[in-house]
Structure 1
Amino acid sequence: MKWILLIAVIAIAVMAYRSYQRTQLQAKKKNEITSAELASVKKTAEEDITKFGEELQDLDLDMVGKDLGDGARQDYQRALDAYESSKQALDAVTEADQIKHVIEILEDGRYASACVRARVNGEPLPQRRPSCFFNPQHGPSTEDVTWAPPGGAPREVPACAADAERVRAGADPDVRKVMVGPQRVPYWEAGPAYSPYAQGMFGALGGVMTGMFIGTMLGGMFAGGGYGDLAGGGFDSVDAGGFEGGGDDFGGDAGGDGGGWSDGFGGEDGGGFDFGGFE
């Protein structure tokens, strides 16, 4: 009788182990990024870089005939260097995870460009903020707006002024969509290949984004810790005046007066990128 029970226990253990192996294999297969998916996310990043390059051309025209100070020239050079650096980084991408670095460089360039416009127009330097969540091509966000994805909980997300106005009016924001198979979907619904793309923009805000996307394709993909104390309610739980926490500061004079960038969101430090000028 004891032998029969022992054999039964062993058989159950073997079956359980095989079931576990099948589950792990299925999960791994589900999260595998195909060459086509990698090509898709690289194309998305390339489109973002191209868009940024066009904005730099417009910025160059806007600065013609204006008296630029040292701060504006230095920020402009940072933006140009970021443009070139992001192109080179994208050319070197062979795995989806490497996209994160490309987007981080691009984020720094977008902020530097915003600083140039502020200096040229005699305005205060913009607060260091992540790009517009709905469409990163809109550049740095200007405020937080309460929004919820279909089936998700309402949370505050960074938005540009135009998208924030749309959301408050009950209209749909201008969402960045990408091709997945035969259809275009919001980038946050494009599958695991787009996780590094999103992390490059919002990795430091992982706690908020993870909560936002529970039940969606990007849910749980913003791993790596949150930003400050975000557990209870979006960005404002960090600091009423801006994105501050963990010893880093996105606000104030980041990137200004020839000094270094604020550490934390971008991933590059004080000296900028040395990859030549804008073409």
Structure 2
Amino acid sequence: MFTVILLIALVVIGVLAYRSYQRTQLQNRKQHEITAAELESVKKTADEDITRFGEELQDLDLDMVGKDLGDGARQDYQRALDSYESAKQAVEQVTEAEQIKHVIEILEDGRYAAACVRARVNGEPLPQRRPSCFFNPQHGPSVVDVMWSPPGGAPREVPACAADAERVRAGAEPDVRKVMVGPQRVPYWEAGPAYSPYAQGMFGGLGGVMTGMFLGTMLGGMFAGGGYGDYAAGYDAGMSDGGGDGGGGDNGDFNFGDNPGGDGGGDGGGWDFGGGDFGGDF
């Protein structure tokens, strides 16, 4: 008799525990559901980043007028152009927030390629492959890690561009990338779960470091992975797989048959590196 009562009690406890688990999972799903408005917001943010990158490529094109470019600079420039075109097409096809990650990964690859072009043209060493500036990804690849404390938060180490690193060290406010959430603009890391894939596209290779960067924010605790080495490995793999002849079609999970990458980079891809031809394509 006692055994039967014990079994019944265990069954009841198990059922109650399972129902509690189901309720918790349902609540978590509701908390992390991305609304159509939130998706449009993060798509707009990514599109703004792409437009900004296109403007930087126009400026880079002008800077290269009259410069003697080697094959390495041409290949990197073509890769940057291909990344820009691929990112534009990819963001138009986004139907859910998770896909934003791949758009940003394409853009990150292009930003690094553009940084390599600048280094080659100026006779400088190629930059280390690093994530974008944490404060404002539009600033391009970071150059150093700095200790920074968000309002009311604990200090943490974040990657920063030279200008923002100088601001932080001087006790000034960095130039933060802000996005619209309802009626107000907030730092992208405070914009909610919809921006998790956006951040993962830039910082997914940092692994546990990401948790420290976003600790205490709406994006905290959502990340896992490796380290800075993943960024360099990703770019090197892209160059060996297709960088020498464009490489733009292999970025992220988006692959487009009409992507201008794939047959241009090795000899400049037919691009005139003078000032007139590039700007007209934007």
TM-score range, shorter chain: 0.7 to 0.9
Pairwise CA RMSD: 2.5
2:235 aligned residue: 261
How many Å apart are 1:11 and its aligned residue? 5.4
How many Å apart are 1:44 and its aligned residue? 0.4
Matched length: 250
> Counterparts of 1:37-116 in structure 2 under 5 Å?
37-116=38-117
2:248 aligned residue: 273
> Counterparts of 1:214-253 in structure 2 under 5 Å?
214-223=215-224, 225-227=225-227, 243-244=228-229, 250=232
Q: Percent identity?
A: 82
Larger fraction in helix = 2
Superposition TM-score, scaled by structure 2 size: 0.80
- Residue type at the aligned position of 2:82: D
Relative to structure 1, the CA distance from residue 72 to residue 156 in structure 2 (aligned partners, 3 Å threshold; closer, same or farther) is: same
Range that drifts further, 187-196 or 213-222: 213-222
- Residue type at the aligned position of 1:189: E
Separation in 2, partners of 1:182, 1:268: 46
How many Å apart are 1:148 and its aligned residue? 2.5
> Counterparts of 1:98-177 in structure 2 under 5 Å?
98-177=99-178
Structure 1 stretches lacking a partner, 5+ long: 228-242, 255-259
Structure 2 stretches lacking a partner, 5+ long: 250-258, 261-270, 272-277
Separation in 1, partners of 2:8, 2:141: 64
Contact 1:155/1:208, CA 8 A, preserved across alignment: no
SS at match of 2:34: coil
How many Å apart are 1:114 and its aligned residue? 0.9
1:206 and 2:181 correspond:
no
Separation in 2, partners of 1:78, 1:67: 18
Relative to structure 1, the CA distance from residue 249 to residue 183 in structure 2 (aligned partners, 3 Å threshold; closer, same or farther) is: closer
Contact 1:105/1:268, CA 8 A, preserved across alignment: no
By relative contact order (CA 8 Å, sep 6+), the higher-ranking structure is 2
- Residue type at the aligned position of 1:226: G
2:275 aligned residue: none
Superposition TM-score, scaled by structure 1 size: 0.81
Separation in 1, partners of 2:178, 2:239: 26
